[in-house]
Chains A and B, each alone.
Chain A
Amino acid sequence: MKKKYLAVPYVVWMAVFVIVPLVLVLLYALGSRDGSFTLDNFRTMTQYWGVFASSFQLALIATAVCLLIGYPVSYWLSREGPGIKRIAMIAIMLPMWMNFLLRTYAWMSILENTGIINTVLGNLGFFELFNGVFGTNLKYFPMINTPGAVVLGMVYNYLPFMILPIYTVIDKIDPKVIEAAEDLGANSIQVFWKIIFPLSLPGVLSGVAMVFIPAVSTFAISKLLGGGMTMLLGDLIEMQFYGSAYNPYLGSAISLVMMVIVLICMTIINRFGEGEGEAMYF
């Protein structure tokens, strides 16, 4: 028996559970209730242009914020000793073991109008001071049910996915390369921009992909922290498969378009990193 035939069960599995479902999405997107071929689903979709725009906008902001926080954190972490590195890595992974819905729900308690932040600020007399200075009449800061809260939820949930790949790549940079640059007269800023940053790009690219893709397609975070005020693509797709708006044909069409846009975005991003080695996922 040749060893390559060991892959046969899984190849069949992939055909049935990966390829066929995607073909079905395509067929449903081009289909309708009476079983005929149509492009109507794509025409109907144009009325949801705003949902597409706000999804991509919020996901882009969240990805940028994750990068702005995640990159320095990864870099600083790579300069720590082995003990701190080990503990910090565990500490970054550990929250992922708690259900993300629960952690997001906990943010509701923190951000609500009568939530922890507002209560603490109120008890400290902050609002009286604030109202006195600015002449306003605030009893609380409205934080929940805003697009900002949704972005916060995304950043919170996906930050580890940005830190882990960037850290892995920076940590693997050979210290001799940095020493060589220093010996040749580079100062610390030059070392960073000419050596460390270019070498860390593959990690940045996979971090961006790992944050952007779930952020653009999330549906629970926007429901919990956006309070239904900001409808995102994920919510829109979910509505077509469960609930009152039941229309799997439109849902498939939206999924298909989202998949294609994401694919194009990722191809463009990966172009930037060409020649930097393949982006790695873990």
Chain B
Amino acid sequence: MKKNHLLERLGLLLTMLFLYAPIAVLITFSFNGSKSRTLWTGFSLKWYTELFGDKRILSALATTLEVSVLAMVISTILGTAAAIGFFNMKKKPRAILMAINNIPMTNADIITGVSLMLLFVFSLGAFNATLGSVLGVELKLGFGTLLLAHVTFDIPYVILSVLPKLNQCDPNIEEAAEDLGATPWQAFVKVVLPEIQPGVVNGAIMAFTMSIDDFVISYFTAGSGCSTLAMEIYSMTRKRISPEINALSTLMFVVVLTLLAVVNIRSAREEKAAQKREATLKRKN
């Protein structure tokens, strides 16, 4: 039994090694003295200083953050409202709508991307040929279409994390609030929202993660005028990726790692405190 356990640990360790090998390479070569990505020529911080002077990368980073935050806010609001709407529907319409809601999640990214690209090219073309030519406006793929696409693939995740929380909610509390004279809006903000808040927050985080991580759908919907970080990296891979990108991802990695560590240490502490409280309560009884 003991020996088996050691072997299992070894297996887990090897998997981690596999997952982190390229990340270790990436981080190491962000400190490399030369442009080479296989030969180590000495420690240097030059890529970090150059990163902050590189307008292309910084503007791609800004676009990525802008579209991710905007898509997160819009999809959290729309998605939460839709989840409440779905929850109050009869079984059949709800099942149909949920099936449609699942389409962008189960479809391959490339199909979502390509189909949205067709929609945007088609409708913008129709607009430019008619109303646009009258008004002298020409619309192109860009930040607007990128944002629409991101909201479209973010909302399903918000709905999937809010709906279970609504199911857990006691419907009587909301009725009680309304009986006691709260308007429906007050009942929502003061009673329902606090109950489903973890689901809403979780949905928002998922939406943000999906947006920041996306490459394929952005690639097909952003057009040539607008570029996210992932798109910038992709266009670099055709020639050679600048180590500045390694520097940037090392910085992002450190930020995410710190955030996760803080959140987890806090929740672990809270759990421990709760256990202690319970233990003391039991002893008193």
A73 contacts which of B12, B23, B117, B230 (Cβ < 8 Å)?
A: B12
Is chain B's binding surface mostly helix, strand, loop or mixed?
A: helix
Q: Smallest distance from the beta carbon of A4 to chain B beta carbons, Å? A: 4
B82 contacts which of A9, A24, A114, A224 (Cβ < 8 Å)?
A: A9
**A76 CA to B9 CA, complexed, in Å:** 8
Given A69-B15, A116-B38, A241-B220, CB of A25 within 8 Å of CB of B22: no
Give the residues in chain A near B20, CB-CB below 8 Å.
Answer: 91, 95
Give the residues in chain B near A223, CB-CB below 8 Å.
Answer: 237
**A109 CA to B160 CA, complexed, in Å:** 39
**A262 CA to B112 CA, complexed, in Å:** 14
Task: Determine whether A10 belongs to the interface, using a CB cutoff of 8 Å to chain B.
Answer: yes
Task: Determine whether A168 belongs to the interface, using a CB cutoff of 8 Å to chain B.
Answer: no
Q: Which of B42-50, B83-91, B127-135, B276-284 contacts A (4 or more CB under 8 A)?
A: B83-91
A95 contacts which of B23, B108, B119 (Cβ < 8 Å)?
A: B23
Give the residues in chain A near B97, CB-CB below 8 Å.
Answer: 7, 11, 14
Given A90-B264, A98-B252, A159-B19, CB of A7 within 8 Å of CB of B233: no
Q: Smallest distance from the beta carbon of B248 to chain A beta carbons, Å? A: 9
Task: Determine whether B176 belongs to the interface, using a CB cutoff of 8 Å to chain A.
Answer: no
Task: Determine whether A255 belongs to the interface, using a CB cutoff of 8 Å to chain B.
Answer: yes
CB closest chain-B residue, reference A3: B88
Task: Determine whether A176 belongs to the interface, using a CB cutoff of 8 Å to chain B.
Answer: no
| Interface membership of chain A positions 222-249, coded 1 if the CB is closer than 8 angstroms to chain B and 0 otherwise | 0110000000001001100100000010
Number of contacting residues on B, CB 8 A? 77
Given A91-B16, A214-B108, CB of A22 within 8 Å of CB of B11: no
Q: Which residues of chain B from 25 to 49 have a CB within 8 Å of any chain A CB?
A: 25-26, 29, 37-38
**A6 CA to B118 CA, complexed, in Å:** 29
Q: Smallest distance from the beta carbon of B120 to chain A beta carbons, Å? A: 9
A24 contacts which of B21, B88, B122, B257 (Cβ < 8 Å)?
A: B122
Are B241 and A105 touching (Cβ within 8 A)? Answer: yes
A259 contacts which of B25, B78, B107, B264 (Cβ < 8 Å)?
A: B107
CB closest chain-A residue, reference B257: A94
Are A9 and B81 touching (Cβ within 8 A)? Answer: yes
Task: Determine whether A136 belongs to the interface, using a CB cutoff of 8 Å to chain B.
Answer: no
**A95 CA to B100 CA, complexed, in Å:** 30
Task: Determine whether A107 belongs to the interface, using a CB cutoff of 8 Å to chain B.
Answer: yes
Are B11 and A234 touching (Cβ within 8 A)? Answer: no
Give the residues in chain B near A3, CB-CB below 8 Å.
Answer: 84-85, 87-88
Task: Determine whether A171 belongs to the interface, using a CB cutoff of 8 Å to chain B.
Answer: no
Task: Determine whether B115 belongs to the interface, using a CB cutoff of 8 Å to chain A.
Answer: yes
Give the residues in chain A near B110, CB-CB below 8 Å.
Answer: 217, 219, 234, 237-238, 255
Are A156 and B116 touching (Cβ within 8 A)? Answer: no
Task: Determine whether B196 belongs to the interface, using a CB cutoff of 8 Å to chain A.
Answer: no
28 A–B contacts from the bound complex (CB under 8 Å): A6-B84, A9-B78, A9-B81, A14-B100, A18-B104, A21-B115, A22-B115, A28-B118, A72-B11, A88-B16, A90-B260, A95-B19, A95-B20, A99-B215, A99-B233, A102-B26, A104-B22, A105-B241, A107-B22, A109-B22, A156-B18, A159-B15, A213-B106, A219-B110, A220-B215, A248-B118, A255-B114, A282-B160
Give the residues in chain B near A281, CB-CB below 8 Å.
Answer: 105, 160
Task: Determine whether B103 belongs to the interface, using a CB cutoff of 8 Å to chain A.
Answer: yes
Give the residues in chain B near A103, CB-CB below 8 Å.
Answer: 22-23, 26
Task: Determine whether A264 belongs to the interface, using a CB cutoff of 8 Å to chain B.
Answer: no
| Interface membership of chain B positions 153-188, coded 1 if the CB is closer than 8 angstroms to chain A and 0 otherwise | 001000110000000000000000000000010000
Q: Which residues of chain A from 188 to 221 have a CB within 8 Å of any chain B CB?
A: 209, 213-214, 216-217, 219-220
CB closest chain-A residue, reference B261: A90
CB closest chain-B residue, reference A1: B184
Q: Smallest distance from the beta carbon of A229 to chain B beta carbons, Å? A: 16
**A282 CA to B122 CA, complexed, in Å:** 35
